[in-house]
C-alpha cells in the first residue's frame, strides 16, 4: 500500500520515534523512504557580512540531523533518499511530498519547540491540513 514514504525529521525525540515507525513501514511494505529536513530560512541573514558562512553553518547542522536519522534507520538504510531543504519547514515538506509523489508522510506530533501543553506543533498542524497524501502523526 505504501511505496514512497516521506519521513520529516528535526532531531527531536518525537521525530526519532517517527523514524522508528517509518523503519517499520519500510520493512512491512518494502517502501522507499525519503528523509527530509528543512533548515531555517536564510533570508533573515541577508546583508550580514558573514552571510555565506552563516548559511553553510545552518546547512551543516541540517546535514548532521539527516545523517543521524539515517543511522537510526539501520537495516533499511539502503532504501533511503536524503533531501535537505531550506525552510519554511511545512512548505518545504509539502513541496517535497508533491514533487516526489510520496504516498505517506510520517512525522512527530510535536518537535523541538519548547511550548508545553500544545497537542500539535505548527509544522505537523500545517502539513496535516495541506498534505497531498495521508499523514501519520506519531505521539
Ligand atoms: P513549533 O515548531 O511550532 O514550536 P514543535 O517543534 O513542538 O512546535 P513541530 O515543529 O510541528 O512541533 O514538529 C512536529 C514534527 O514535524 C517533528 O517531530 C518532525 O517530524 C517535523 N519537523 C519539524 N521541524 C522540521 C524541520 N525543520 N524539517 C523537517 N521536519 C520537521
Ligand atoms: Mg518545531
112: Cβ below 6 Å to ligand 1?
yes
Instruction: Residue 38: name the closest of 78, 74, 11 by CA.
Output: 11
- Tally of domains within the chain: 1
Look up cell 543511522; give the residue: 71
Q: Rg of the chain over CA atoms, in angstroms?
A: 15
Pairing outcome for strands 135-138 and 104-108: parallel
Strand partners, 94: none
CA distance 79 to 119: 32
Q: Which domain range does residue 37 map to?
A: 4-138
90: Cβ below 6 Å to ligand 1?
no
Output the nine-digit C-alpha cell for 64.
Answer: 548532521
Nearest ligand to the CA of 110 is 1
The pLDDT value recorded for residue 124 is 98
Which CATH number goes with the domain that contains 66?
3.40.50.620
Mutate to test the pocket of ligand 1, among 61, 88, 123, 127 (most ligand atoms within 8 A of CB): 123
Would you mind telling me the total number of residues written for the chain in this entry? 139
The pLDDT value recorded for residue 122 is 96
What atom of ligand 1 comes closest to residue 39's alpha carbon? 27
* Centre of ligand 1 from the C-alpha of residue 70, in Å: 18
Q: Evaluate if pTM is beyond 0.75.
A: yes
The pLDDT value recorded for residue 19 is 97
* Centre of ligand 2 from the C-alpha of residue 11, in Å: 10
Coil vs helix vs strand at 89 = helix
CA-closest residue to ligand 1 atom 18: 108
* Centre of ligand 1 from the C-alpha of residue 37, in Å: 10
Mind listing the pLDDT tens digit for each residue in 7-64? 999 999 999 999 999 999 999 999 999 999 999 998 888 888 888 888 999 999 999 9
CA distance 93 to 19: 15
- Mind giving me the DSSP string for 43-69? GGGTT-TTHHHHHHHHHHHHHHHHHHH
Amino acid at each position: 500500500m505504501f511505496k514512497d514514504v516521506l519521513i520529516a525529521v528535526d532531531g527531536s525525540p518525537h521525530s526519532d520515534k517517527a523514524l522508528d515507525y517509518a523503519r517499520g513501514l519500510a520493512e512491512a511494505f518494502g517502501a522507499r523512504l525519503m528523509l527530509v529536513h528543512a533548515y531555517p530560512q536564510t533570508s533573515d541573514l541577508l546583508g550580514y557580512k558573514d552571510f555565506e558562512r552563516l548559511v553553510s553553518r545552518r546547512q551543516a547542522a541540517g546535514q548532521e540531523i539527516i545523517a543521524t536519522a539515517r543511522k537510526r534507520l539501520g537495516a533499511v538504510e539502503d532504501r533511503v533518499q536524503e533531501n535537505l531543504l531550506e525552510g519554511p519547514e511545512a512548505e518545504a515538506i509539502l513541496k517535497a511530498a508533491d514533487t516526489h509523489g510520496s504516498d505517506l508522510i510520517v512525522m512527530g506530533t510535536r518537535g523541538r519547540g519548547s511550548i508545553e501543553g500544545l497537542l500539535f506543533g505548527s509544522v505537523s498542524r500545517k502539513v496535516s491540513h495541506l498534505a497531498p497524501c495521508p499523514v501519520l502523526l506519531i505521539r
